[in-house]
Amino acid sequence: MKVLVAVKRVIDYNVRVRVRADGSGVETANVKFSMNPFDEIAVEEAVRLKEAGATAEIIVVSIGPAQAQETLRSALAMGADRAILIQTEDAVEPLAVAKLLTAVARREGVELAIIGKQAIDDDANQTGQMLAALLDWPQGTFASKLVLEDGRAVVTREIDGGLETVSLALPAVITTDLRLNAPRYASLPNIMKAKKKPLDILTPADFGVDVSPRLVTLKVEAPRQRKAGVKVADAAQLFDKLKHEAKVI
């Protein structure tokens, strides 16, 4: 069974994001990029399934600039078998990403797609659901546990009220949550091996997908600085401040 894993190149989660002076977006010059953390979890889960003998091949896909090859090589070093970069310099929205992943899934004949539930740069949380709809596959979102058995995927999902377990007929789409696993660090030998693993470079036009944006960003602003909090002596003083200063009661 083939597994498709989508990975995205994003600004590293340790970097403090700064807005450009002209308000056109966030500053990306001389900024460290890395794999989206939720996608790292997706790669790790796919590798664990392969190590358990549940899958045969892991194909990682990224959509973005040429620099995304580094992200794909990181996934290959973790244990993926081959990679596909759909290269574009344009900002690609979730629907376009889902259409491209649909085309790849059909071309490769995959039976399971595992992707992060969201990317930390836009927090859209849309691609997995759209992918499942386009493929007409069942979906298990926000997965904190995944077990493959008897041609089905048993997924424990994190929901508002606690946990929900669903059984999905394969092929299926899974989106990963934080508590699914802890991604491994790639060893030096595996990093060296990753350099020799196949990485194909294609374009959206190769799949006949229009990635033109449907949205236009008018302006990006940094959140306002919050005032420092104050301590109150008792409940009466708290009530007075809420009523006369904050005016919320």
Which is the CATH superfamily of the domain at 2-244?
Answer: HUPs (3.40.50.620)
pLDDT reading at 229 higher than 90: no
Q: Give per-residue pLDDT as tens, 163-222.
A: 999 999 999 999 999 999 999 999 999 999 999 999 999 999 999 999 988 888 888 888
Phi and psi based region of residue 162 (left: phi greater than 0; alpha: psi -120 to 50; beta: remaining): left
Burial code (b: 16+ CB inside 10 Å, e: under 16) for 62-78 equals bbbeeebbebbbbbbbb
Please choose, from the candidates 217, 210, 150, 147, the residue with its C-alpha nearest in 3D space to the C-alpha of residue 181.
Answer: 147
Cβ neighbours around 5 below 10 Å, total? 28
**Which is more confident, 20 or 40?**
40
* Half-sphere exposure in the Cβ direction for 76 (13 Å, CA): 24
Does pLDDT of 246 surpass 90? no
The amino acid that residue 199 corresponds to is L
Average pLDDT, the chain: 93
Q: For the chain, what is the total number of helices (H) and then of strands (E)?
A: 6, 11
Confidence of residue 133 (pLDDT cuts 50, 70, 90): very high
pLDDT tens readout for residues 67-121: 999 999 999 999 999 999 999 998 899 999 999 999 999 999 999 999 999 999 9
Residue ranges of domains in the chain: 2-244
pLDDT of residue 228 exceeding 90: no
Confidence at residue 95, expressed as pLDDT on a 0 to 100 scale = 95
